[in-house]
Structure 1
Amino acid sequence: MNTYLLFMTLIAIVLVVLGVSLFKWHAFISLLVASLFLAIVSGLSLEKIVVAYETGVGGVLGHLIGILALGTILGKMMADSGAGMQIAEFFMRAFGVKNLPWAMLLSGFIVGIPVFFEVGILILLPLVISVHKSSKQNILLIALPLIAGLSIVHGLVPPHPGALAAISIYKANLGKVLLYSLIIAIPASIIAGPLFAMWVHKRVIPKGEPELIRITTKAKFLPGTGVSFFVILLPVLLMILSAVAPYLSLSKGLLKFLTLIGSPLIALLISVFVAYYLLGFRKGMDRNAVKKLTESCLLPVGSIALIIGAGGGFKQILIESGVGNTIAQMAQNLSLSPLVLAFLIAGLIRIATGSATVALTTAAGIVSPVIQHMSGVNLELLVIATGAGSLMFSHVNDAGFWMVKEYLGLSVPETFKTWTVLETLLSFIAFGGALLLNTFF
């Protein structure tokens, strides 16, 4: 029976892969079909199938949907006000031409905190190309560190949706994940960013020319550098304050208040209103412009919310059908660490589907039932190991691969030698960091 369940789970994962890559289904449809298939073949009673699936979807989205929407609004405000560009230009001035890779890494890392990877590239690409033209440096030396900063933050650091989905599924502590992810993300992005760029730019010289993507700012005046930094870092500062508060000698009332404003939903809500005022109204946007901006950026949230919800539904089917217990027994028999298991499963799904979000949520769904009967599992590092696996070996089935290729004017082989290697370096270095921290905590 155990072998049969594992084989059916494998077929369900293959269904997800074929649905996304061959049949060109949306990832939500692929995950839903795979969940229903697994529920039926594992013998789950028909009346339980829909209830289990809806429970799984609701369990994840109930926690995440507001955070997703608010994070997207904040990112859009950063882009359209010019605040992201202001931060990047500040690092350029501070570091100078000689230290361009380090300036670009910091720009990507900071700007990437509240925005999706794709939005971060769009915000910062005009700067990359203008610096490339004025400095006459190989564009890889400028672009790769920036991309490394954006990508590692997108894969590991809350409040990004993949990390928050895994935190919700594993029931990990947000504050600890935030702390560990920053500790791990910094060295990973340094090695895969500036250090790799300094090595590879001498060996790969792009033959094409980059496409210039311009961001049209809706603000009449650009915000100051200080204001830009304040808005972009505010949600992270509130979450860190909430995580530190229990260790300070505070009154009960103040402790409860700090815990409330440090929860991702409230921290992002506060930050959105601060952004509306400081980056919108104060810089010449009227109420209609802010309303239109909010409405326009909520449309893409639907797609990613559906994928994350479907990952939660898949997780619940795995639990209800007994597959989770089967995988747990197998992992214990093989003496396989949950961190290694999560990293490998996320990596395989990432390579197969091309989507870091699908890889992260599906892998978390598979591993979550496995750890329920295990003691001593560091849930926060498990989130990071899963996130690390979801970054590896980006290739032709990943939208990010084509985005980097087209925007930087690279050929397909040049993109493999640069972007794919960079993503794989980030993945394995972050996983190594998680294993290292796991020996101490």
Structure 2
Amino acid sequence: MDIYLLVITLLAIVIVIIGVSYFKWHAFISLLVASLFLAIFSGMGWDEIVGAYETGVGDTLGHLIGIIALGTILGKMLAESGAGLVIANYFIKVFGEKRLPWAMFISGFIIGIPVFFEVGILILLPLVISIAKASRQNILRIGLPAIAGLSIVHGIVPPHPGAVAAIGIYGANLGTVLLYSIIIAIPAGLIGGPLFGNWISKRIVPQGEPTLVKVEERDDKQMPSVGVSFLSVLLPVILMLFGTFAPYIPASEGVISFLEFIGSPIIAMLISVFVAFWLLGFRTGMDKNIIQKFVDECILPVASIILIIGAGGGFKQVLIDSGIGDVIGSMSQDLNLSPIIMAFAIAGLIRIATGSATVALTTAAGIVSPIIAGMTGVNLELLVIATGAGSLMFSHVNDAGFWMVKEYLGLSVKETFKTWTALETILSFATFIFVLILDIFV
């Protein structure tokens, strides 16, 4: 019976992979079909299947949907106000032209904290193209570090949706994941960004030219100041850190409770959005109609990622309720496999097959979560980061990010494999290695 359950679990994962890659189904549909297949063939009662799925979706999205929506709005305000460009320009001024790759990495890293990868690309690429033309440097030397900063943050640092979803699935502490992920993301990102970018730019000179991004001059008087720009980006992180360290502050219970309240992700993001409306919106000349238009524009595309994350949560719950998680868990304990290694490998395989970091992270967390339920001594926070590391692995033609980088940097498919795909794989394994090192000490 145990072998049978393992086989249908593997078949369910294959359904997700084939559905997305061959039949071109939306990942939500593939995950839903796989969940139903798994539930039916594992012997769950007809009256249990829908309830299990709905419970998984609700538990996953209950605390997440608001964070995703507010994070998207904040990213839109950063893009439209020019705050992202202000931050990038500041680092360039501080670092100088010779150290531009390092400046672009830090810019991508900081801008990537509150925004989606795709939004960060749109914020940074106009600046990358302008700098490359003005300095007459290979665009890969300037662009890849910025993209590495965005990607590493998107993959493992909350409040990004995949990381927050994995935190919820594993039951990890968000503040601790935030601290560990930043400690790990910086050295891993430097390896995949400035160091790899500098090395590969000496070996590949793109034959094409970027054509999708138009670099337009902005009126500096209407752009926010450096301080305001940094505050807008970092405010949600600062507030969440307040919430994390509140219990250790020598203060009254009321003060601690208040700090924990404003430090909760949903409230921290809400406060940050309203601050951005004022500092990046009204103070830069926008009126309420323009801000409403920006909010409407960025909210609609969020539906897709919400559906994917919710479906991943449903898949996880079916795994738990069908008893498959217990079977895998007992077998893993017998084999003495490390949950961190298992999470990294499963997420990597799903990422390679489906092309979606979010699907890989959420699905892998759903598979590993039941396995660790009966284990002791598992560092849940590092498990989240290891799963995120696997979800970055080997981006190729089934990944939307692959085509975004190709088109925005004006690369050929072959050049994109040698640059973007290699960069993502370096980030993945470097992050995983740093997770293993940190696991020794914490």
Whether TM-score is above 0.5 comes out as yes
* Partner-residue secondary structure (3-state), 1:403: helix
2:246 is matched with which residue?
Answer: 245
Cα displacement string for residues 241-282 of structure 1 (whole angstroms, at most 9, x for unaligned residues):
211222221211111111011110000000000000000111
Conserved 8 A contact 2:144-2:197? yes
Conserved 8 A contact 1:146-1:193? yes
Cα displacement string for residues 342-392 of structure 1 (whole angstroms, at most 9, x for unaligned residues):
000000000000000000000000001111100011000000000000000
Report matched runs for 1:16-95 at 5 Å. Answer: 16-95=16-95
Conserved 8 A contact 1:218-1:285? no
Conserved 8 A contact 1:110-1:232? yes
Q: Distance in 1 between matches of 2:282 and 2:345?
A: 47
Conserved 8 A contact 2:68-2:302? yes
Q: Distance in 2 between matches of 1:337 and 1:218?
A: 54
1:127 is matched with which residue?
Answer: 127
The alignment status of 1:412 with 2:413, answered yes or no, reads yes
* Partner-residue secondary structure (3-state), 1:439: helix
1:370 is matched with which residue?
Answer: 371
The CA deviation at 1:406 is: 1.0
Q: Distance in 2 between matches of 1:304 and 1:30?
A: 14
Q: Distance in 2 between matches of 1:205 and 1:281?
A: 43
Q: Which runs of 5+ in 1 are unaligned?
A: none
Report matched runs for 1:280-299 at 5 Å. Answer: 280-299=281-300
Conserved 8 A contact 2:235-2:272? yes
2:262 is matched with which residue?
Answer: 261
TM-score by length of structure 1 reads: 0.98
Amino acid at match of 1:184: I
Conserved 8 A contact 1:219-1:283? no
1:155 is matched with which residue?
Answer: 155
Report matched runs for 1:327-346 at 5 Å. Answer: 327-346=328-347
Cα displacement string for residues 160-210 of structure 1 (whole angstroms, at most 9, x for unaligned residues):
000000001011001100000000000000111001111111111111111
Conserved 8 A contact 1:388-1:431? yes
* Partner-residue secondary structure (3-state), 1:100: helix
The CA deviation at 1:211 is: 2.1
The CA deviation at 1:219 is: 11
Q: Distance in 2 between matches of 1:437 and 1:92?
A: 32
Conserved 8 A contact 1:42-1:321? yes
Give aligned pairs, total.
Answer: 441
The alignment status of 1:222 with 2:223, answered yes or no, reads yes
The CA deviation at 1:130 is: 0.6
1:438 is matched with which residue?
Answer: 439
Q: Distance in 2 between matches of 1:282 and 1:135?
A: 33
Conserved 8 A contact 1:157-1:163? yes
Report matched runs for 1:391-430 at 5 Å. Answer: 391-430=392-431
Q: Which runs of 5+ in 2 are unaligned?
A: none
Amino acid at match of 1:315: K
Report matched runs for 1:89-238 at 5 Å. Answer: 89-214=89-214, 221-238=222-239
Deviates more, 1:8-17 or 1:239-248: 239-248
Q: Distance in 2 between matches of 1:219 and 1:350?
A: 41
The CA RMSD measured in Å over matched residues stands at: 1.3
Cα displacement string for residues 383-433 of structure 1 (whole angstroms, at most 9, x for unaligned residues):
000000000000111010111111111111111111111101110111111
The CA deviation at 1:212 is: 4.4
CA 1:183–1:335: 2 relative to 1, 3 Å: same
* Partner-residue secondary structure (3-state), 2:374: coil
Q: Distance in 2 between matches of 1:373 and 1:116?
A: 34
TM-score by length of structure 2 reads: 0.98
